[in-house]
């Protein structure tokens, strides 16, 4: 049986939509009476953190000039209001009473927000709310209204939290599979790509073979082409033409774009791959069985 205190905490979380930490803070030294100031601090800090993430998005190399300007202006308006309010709520009215004190957040995003929190000794109050990791890299894409292409590398080989990011990608692939009615060949292709992620050099890029892919998924060349096009047009995979070409002439790279922030921002027209026939087409292997 949960204690009376735990039952009160759970009920307060349901009634006020506050987090566990905020409810516990509201009970501290208040005789069990809910105090809305902690809820306001938490929610304002979360909103400020989200505004700082807009700055990070604006500062990404593949964000074009128009979007960068709009994102920065939006983030500036939000930060200009939220930072002073948060300072007052945390009893630090001088933390953001002048633009020069919160401008670094507009310039540096989450990194600037973390520095602002530490500089004003707010870590104990809201440090647990603020993001500690920068946003993951998104994909390269064609810049809107211009023909030039800004290439951005995939996740580096030694990226921090590599295993965690790969686990998230596999989980996203699994959810995508469960929610759709797919042909047998498309499902087998998706499962094959997920299996290749385990040994992939990059976190979200796999290498496929035009010669052997039909055999790898147990399909004909036509079924393989159709399955590949289905995943391409669904935005699950996309071309990778900014990495070194694979050693084998029949091999090519694709990015698995299901992480949420590494997906296609602009549709890429499908390019036929001309997969070679497999055993299901009647082709006999060159080696003796």
When pLDDT is averaged across residues 258-262 and rounded to a whole number, the result is: 68
Rg (CA), the chain: 25
The whole-number pLDDT of residue 252 equals 92
When pLDDT is averaged across residues 155-181 and rounded to a whole number, the result is: 78
Q: Which residue has the higher pLDDT, 138 or 180?
A: 180
What single-letter DSSP state applies at residue 262? S
pLDDT averaged over the chain?
A: 77
Q: Which residue has the higher pLDDT, 130 or 180?
A: 180
Interval 19-76: pLDDT, tens: 666 666 665 544 444 556 777 888 888 888 889 889 988 888 777 778 888 888 999 9
Burial category of 12 from C-beta neighbours within 10 Å (exposed 0-12, middle 13-18, buried 19 and up): buried
Interval 94-147: pLDDT, tens: 877 788 888 889 998 888 888 888 888 887 777 666 755 444 433 333 333 333
pTM of the predicted model as reported, rounded to 2 decimal places: 0.47
Q: Which residue has the higher pLDDT, 227 or 241?
A: 227
Indicate the domain borders of the chain.
35-135, 149-281
Alpha-carbon distances, residue 21 vs 35, 43, 119, 126 (angstroms): 13, 12, 23, 11
């Amino acid at each position: 049986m949960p204690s009376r205190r735990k039952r009160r905490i759970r009920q307060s979380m349901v009634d006020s939509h506050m987090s566990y930490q905020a409810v516990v803070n509201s009970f501290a030294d208040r005789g069990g009476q809910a105090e809305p100031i902690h809820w306001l601090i938490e929610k304002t800090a979360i909103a400020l953190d989200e505004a700082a993430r807009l700055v990070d998005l604006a500062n990404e190399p593949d964000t074009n000039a128009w979007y960068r300007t709009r994102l920065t202006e939006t983030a500036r308006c939000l930060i200009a209001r939220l930072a002073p309010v948060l300072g007052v709520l945390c009893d630090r009215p001088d933390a953001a009473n002048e633009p020069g004190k919160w401008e670094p957040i507009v310039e540096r995003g989450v990194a600037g927000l973390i520095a602002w929190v530490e500089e004003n000794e707010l870590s104990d109050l809201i440090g647990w709310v603020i993001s500690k990791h920068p946003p993951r890299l998104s994909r390269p894409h064609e810049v809107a209204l211009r023909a030039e292409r800004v290439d951005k590398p995939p996740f580096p080989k030694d990226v921090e939290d590599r295993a965690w990011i790969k686990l998230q990608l596999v989980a996203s692939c699994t959810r995508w599979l469960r929610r759709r009615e797919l042909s047998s060949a498309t499902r087998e292709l998706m499962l094959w790509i997920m299996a290749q992620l385990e040994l992939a050099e990059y976190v979200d890029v796999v290498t496929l073979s035009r010669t052997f892919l039909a055999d790898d998924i147990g399909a004909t060349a036509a079924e393989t082409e159709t399955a590949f096009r289905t995943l391409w047009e669904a935005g699950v995979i996309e071309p990778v033409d900014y990495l070194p070409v694979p050693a084998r002439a029949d091999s090519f790279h694709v990015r698995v774009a299901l992480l949420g922030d590494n997906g296609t921002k602009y549709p890429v027209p499908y390019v036929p791959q001309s997969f070679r026939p497999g055993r299901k087409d009647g082709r006999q292997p060159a080696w003796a069985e």
